Chain A
Amino acid sequence: MKKQSDSILVKLFFAFILITGMISVNGQSLSNLENRYRQLNNQYDKEIKILDSLRSIYTYRTSQIDAEKKKKNPDNERVIELMSGSVSISNKIEAQNKRIVRIENDIENIKQQLHKIYVSKIDSLELLKTGSEDEARLNAEILLLTEKNILVAPKILSLSFNPEKILVIDLNGTKDAKEKSLYKEYLNSALSEVNDVLKKVSLQISEIDQIIALQTKTKKFLEEAELESNMIIQNQRSTSPEIDVTNSPAFRESDGVTTSSDFVSNIKTYQFILRQLDIQQLSKTDLKLNISLDEMSRNLDVKEYQKLLNEVKERLQEFKLVLANKIGSSK
């Protein structure tokens, strides 16, 4: 009996190790990833060229149809022939677009993996550098990796205008009409950008509010259900959905679903915007999100992210008011 149970234990242990090993093997080597990245980029360029050609043919066909229709006695059969050809090209364009989106997603995925590897390699080399006699070689390696990393690192967007300069613009004090018109255009474009970011932030706030509300209500519901039962031990934490970074929301962009690393890059972007808008450090914030990118990707508090978004929204609204006033008060 004991032997049998020991044997089950051993089998289960090895099965578990095997499953764990199989799933966690995501360790493609750096050179493999770099090759794949290159291949995908080449493929992407080719597919884009094909798409461009298809579009040119389509444009040519539609112009032919228009030309035929404009004739005094259009040849209907010819129009039908051209139209059916156009439909087939249009379908090809659609299929080609889908293929390109798939490649873009693959490229994005590999970029994230490469970014992580480069960052960790750079960190390791930096550590080795201290006190090393081979500093020059290590520096060269770090430089090379940094260059590669720049190409794959997530983009951090920010406001394209300088908020501090916006504040000092006085349209009414500007005499030159041309200068005034230029300033006005600058303010209008800043206002439109602020509106766009505000829209995006508001959408993300509503999504994260929903996620937090869902988590809170689920927790409450489970607490109630636990006490509902008289004969049950179920309060081990693993049974309830937890709030951790793997549960962290990433947000739906207009063109698809973002990944969790985009989520981290969103935070960077908003921190950057917040700093841009926090002119002369007038308003202090109690946000705890002033932490490194690596730390964020691992260990993020969703409620802190919610606070960050609300703070960004508030600052943007204030700035929008200032911009609207400046534009509106100009004579």
Chain B
Amino acid sequence: MRYDYPGIILFILIINAFVFPQVDWRINSEVGLFKSSGYGILREESLLTRFDGFIKYVYEEDKKNASLSLRVRPEFYGSDNPINSIKLKAEGGYFQVEENFNWGLNVTGQKNFFNDVLFDFTYDVFTVVGDAAWYYFGDLTLNTNAGYAYQKIKGNEKYKLDLFFADLKLISPVSSSIKFGYGFYFERFFIRNEIDRQNILTTNRNDGIRLGPQLNINYIRDFIINIDYRMLVHESDFIEYFSYEHWIRAVAGKIFFNYWSIFLLVDYNSYHFKKNEDYIEGITPLYTPLNLENRIYLKIAYELSNNFELYTKGGYFKDNLYEDTFSLEGWNALIGIEFNGGM
């Protein structure tokens, strides 16, 4: 009953999509297997069924555009005692072209609900990002981003993260299809957690910074490849000098035989923290529980027509939670169909 509302909303939006031409939409249905090293049913191999609905309204004028999108994704893990999940994401964006620069603003809200027979788990993210590209430096383009993100995880324990970040990158074209970027990333974070152990509630906090140089290489012509690398130095209440992190994100893709496409995403983090004497394992939060994750994600798709696509995808992830003492890993392999339309 709980999942009826998103379905109704999506249905209304899709009906609207046929009325308004500036609307882009898609519906996916997927089924497959998953395995995770989590607790209970998630420790087993089992069935995963997923539906995904996306709708985006775009308003365009001469040198500006605004968009609003909504995404709803119900997921059902297992069959006997299923874990259900629903992910909702709303996003608004505005983009404007000026004479010597472009600028944009993006606001995103994401809510994830998980529930099974034992407990409920929610995970929320909210971000506001302003970005601009400056064309004052000959062939070089200066990209700047700054924003705020809020993240909240609520299950048996509660985590809250506030972070402010700024990102500066100079993009230099190496050739017509290759560009090279280099710059600097800065982040200020504030983490709070609440842990209940034997009915004793403890509240902990950790504030710090994460900063360092970044490199990017991008190629696009017959195929696309984009690699981002950051070497980030950490400084927070529970770690000592010199604590750092390597962060790599690579995306590659190719369209082949006209209707086939293959895409690969690799996220890799390796971190080296020197904890200080105030650190208590499993109690005081570091940066790790919130966004360090290694994963590989692959998708192969075949376009049946302009509006239909068949695909198979697989993903593997490994979260190193609580600084290597506990890790959560898993994989899934799915086949799906997409029905899309609009612009």
Shortest CB-to-CB span from B108 to chain A, Å, is: 6
Q: Check A241 against B172 for contact (C-beta < 8 Å).
A: no
What is the bound-complex CA distance between A228 and B313, given in angstroms?
11
What are the residues of chain B within 8 A of A232 when measuring CB–CB? 267, 291, 293
In angstroms, Cα B172 to Cα A246, docked, is 8
Does residue B268 face the partner (Cβ distance < 8 Å to A)?
no
A222 beta carbon closer than 8 Å to chain B: yes
B13-21, B76-84, B95-103 - the one binding chain A: B95-103
Residue of A nearest to B161 (CB): A233
Which among A9, A217, A250 has the greatest number of chain B C-beta atoms within 10 A? A217
Is A215 close to B, CB under 8 A?
yes
Determine how close the nearest CB of chain A comes to the CB of B59; give it in whole angstroms.
16
Asked if residues B177 and A214 are in contact (CB atoms below 8 Å), the reply is no
A12: CB under 8 A from chain B? yes
Residue among A4, A223, A229, A251 with the most chain B CB within 10 A?
A229
Q: Which applies to chain B's interface (DSSP): helix, strand, loop or mixed?
A: strand
Which segment of A60-68, A94-102, A181-189, A253-261 sits at the interface? A253-261
Contact among B106, B167, B213, B224 with A12 in the assembled complex (CB-CB below 8 Å): B213
A281 proximal to B (CB < 8 A): no
Interface pick from A20-28, A159-167, A268-276, A309-317: A20-28
Tell me the minimal C-beta distance from B180 to chain A in angstroms: 9
* Cβ contact within 8 Å between A228 and B251: no
- Among A237, A246, A295, the residue within 8 A (CB) of B129 is A237
CA distance A221 to B100 in the complex (A): 31
Say yes or no for B145: interface residue by CB 8 A criterion. yes
Are A228 and B297 in contact, with the CB atoms below 8 A?
yes
Selected from A228, A250, A262, the residue in CB contact (under 8 A) with B315 is A228
Q: Is the CB of B265 within 8 A of A211?
A: no
Interface positions of B from 266 to 305, Cβ below 8 Å from A: 267, 289-291, 293, 295, 297, 299, 301
A-B contact count (CB 8 A): 180
Q: Does A218 belong to the interface (CB within 8 Å)?
A: yes
Quick check: A246 and B179 within 8 Å, CB to CB? Answer: yes
Contacts of A224 in B (CB 8 A): 52, 299
Whether A227 and B255, one on each chain, are in contact in the complex, defined by CB atoms closer than 8 angstroms, is no
Tell me the smallest distance from the CB of A16 to a CB of chain B, in Å: 5
The distance in angstroms between the C-alpha atoms of A244 and B62, with both chains bound, is 17
B interface size (C-beta, 8 A): 87
Closest to B185 in A: A238
- Report the separation of the CA atoms of residues A245 and B297 in the bound assembly, to the nearest whole angstrom: 28
Asked whether any CB of chain A lies closer than 8 Å to the CB of B51, the reply is no
Cβ of B135 and Cβ of A299 under 8 Å apart? yes
- Cα A37 to Cα B184 in complex, Å, equals 36
Which residues 2-17 in A have Cβ within 8 Å of B in the complex? 4-5, 8-9, 12, 15-16
Is A282 interfacial (CB-CB < 8 Å)?
Answer: no
A229 and B293 contact, Cβ closer than 8 Å, known pairs A19-B213, A215-B220, A236-B147: yes
Q: Is there contact, CB below 8 Å, between A26 and B220?
A: no
Q: Which residues of B contact A140 (CB under 8 A)?
A: none
Contacts of B226 in A (CB 8 A): 218, 240-241
Tell me the minimal C-beta distance from A206 to chain B in angstroms. Answer: 11
Structural contact, B213 and A230, CB atoms closer than 8 A: no
Contact B253 A214 (CB under 8 A): yes
A9 and B211 contact, CB distance less than 8 A: yes
**Residue B151 is within 8 A (CB to CB) of chain A in the complex:** yes
Q: Which residue from A207, A210, A211, A244 sits with its C-beta under 8 Å from B141?
A: A244
The 4 A-B pairs of least Cβ separation, nearest first, read A250-B176, A298-B135, A221-B263, A241-B226
**B contacts, CB < 8 Å to A:** 52, 54, 62-63, 71, 73, 87, 89, 97, 99-100, 102, 104, 106, 108, 110, 112, 123, 125, 127, 129, 131, 133, 135, 137-141, 143, 145, 147, 149, 151, 153, 163, 165, 167, 169-173, 175-177, 179, 182-184, 209, 211-213, 218, 220-224, 226, 228, 233, 235, 240-242, 249, 251, 253-255, 261, 263, 265, 267, 289-291, 293, 295, 297, 299, 301, 315, 317, 319
A residues at B contact (CB < 8 Å): 1, 4-5, 8-9, 12, 15-16, 19-20, 23-24, 26, 116, 207, 210-211, 213-215, 217-218, 221-225, 227-242, 244-251, 257-260, 262-263, 288, 295, 298-299, 301
6 CB-based A-B contacts, threshold 8 Å? A217-B261, A218-B224, A223-B54, A233-B163, A236-B147, A299-B102
